[in-house]
Amino acid sequence: MIEIKNLTKFYYSSESVALALDDISLTFAVGDFVAITGESGSGKSTLLKVMNGTETYEEGEMCFDGVKTSAFGDEDWDRLRREEIAVVYQDYQILDNYSVLENVESVLLICEERLGKLTPKERRAKAMSYLEIVGLTKQAKQKASHISSGQKQRLAIARALAKNSQIIIADEPTGNLDVENGRMVMQLLAEIAKTRLVIVVTHNYEQAEDFVTRLIRLYRGQVSDDIRLRESAQLPATGAEAENHETPEKRMRKRDAAGVFLKMNLRRQPIRNGFFFLLCLCLSLAFLVFLGIIAQNLDDAQAMEYNEKAYFNGDDTRILIRNVDGSELTADDFAAISQVKYVER
């Protein structure tokens, strides 16, 4: 499934060149639970990054299902990361503001084009089935930020499962966990590896040795040991693959997914959304008042009748006169004004 041949990877910086992977040749197949160990700086993370397409390589070749990645463009790598490989990180990378259940539901939504359309009820049921595998059904309604570290990592694994990829890679998934939780996570990954390929990087090999089917040790970028510890599961593909091929008419439109995300976001951030709503309300009111003022001033003549400024006279030699009631001046009025000394019309 993954074939790596004579792969070499350098990191270049302005001052130095580091040889991170040195002529690595490895093959991986479904059904294996592989542990990659080695001291710090031996190239473990780099190997995972190269496999995931987040780092390039200089020499050698890597093939997925027989297809050479040297010919891959950005789109091919995007598709591989989106569909074929799920990654579990040491720091979980879950959605803190969402509930445990919503964390898994969101993956099903994101991948719906590939996995097929589900009604909200079906999506919930499927997400719950993944939570059941990782033992988190009781926490389904809890906010993800409120569960324990071990539970967070199990949630990250449930999200990886929901992606339904054949390959799951994990970089130090037990790095932040105590011994008991670390062991639980390893056991869970071993179970999952029966129908997928699971590759886990760990510097704490004792935690994994009871479960892994194969041990690879790296030393200064080279493979120093590659030991088979148990038979790989080599199970036939499960229904998971069939799920990948839902009919197009069953696919939910992206617009629908955006709507569901909007609802989840609104529900999950009530305070922030409340402030946003108030801000919108204030802006709307201010706008209405502004419109009112403009409307009031549309009739200039009326406005001017009461507007002192309109009658402001900047010239000392002139005086402006009007009737108190606003009526027109008559010929008698003009005659009377003309009688006043020094005044002319």
Write out the residues near Mg ion by the rule CB under 5 A: 45
Give the strand pairing for 67-68 and 17-28: unpaired
CA distance 127 to 264: 15
Pattern 144-183, binding to ligand ADP, x per CB under 6 A? ----------------------------------------
Least distance in Å: CB of 40 to ligand ADP? Answer: 4
- To ligand ADP, the closest distance from the beta carbon of 42 in angstroms equals 4
Minimum distance from CB of 45 to Mg ion (Å)? Answer: 3
Nearer to ligand ADP, 38 or 173 (CB): 38
Of 10 and 261, nearer to ligand ADP (C-beta) is: 10
Choose among 195, 235, 196, 189: nearest CA to 212: 189
What is the footprint of ligand ADP within residues 18-57 (CB under 6 A)? Answer: 18, 20, 38, 40-46
| Segment (H or E) for 21 | strand 17-28
219 in contact with ligand ADP (CB under 6 A): no
Instruction: Pick between residue 131 and residue 201 the one whose CB is nearest to Mg ion.
Output: 201
Backbone angles phi, psi at 296, to 5 degrees: -65, -35
Beta carbons of 133 and 71 less than 8 angstroms apart: no
259-276 burial by CB neighbour count: b if 16+ within 10 A, else e?
ebbeebeeebeeeeeeee
CB of 57 to ligand ADP, least distance (A): 12
Nearer to ligand ADP, 45 or 142 (CB): 45
Closest CA to 232 of 33, 36, 2, 25: 33
The item of Mg ion, ligand ADP, none sharing an interface with residue 11, based on CB under 5 to 8 Å by kind, is ligand ADP
Closest residue to Mg ion using C-beta atoms = 45
**x/- site string to ligand ADP, residues 180 to 199, per CB under 6 A?**
--------------------
| Contacts (Cβ under 8 Å, ≥6 apart) of 250 | 116, 117
- Residue 66 gets the label, from left (phi > 0), alpha (psi -120 to 50) or beta, of left
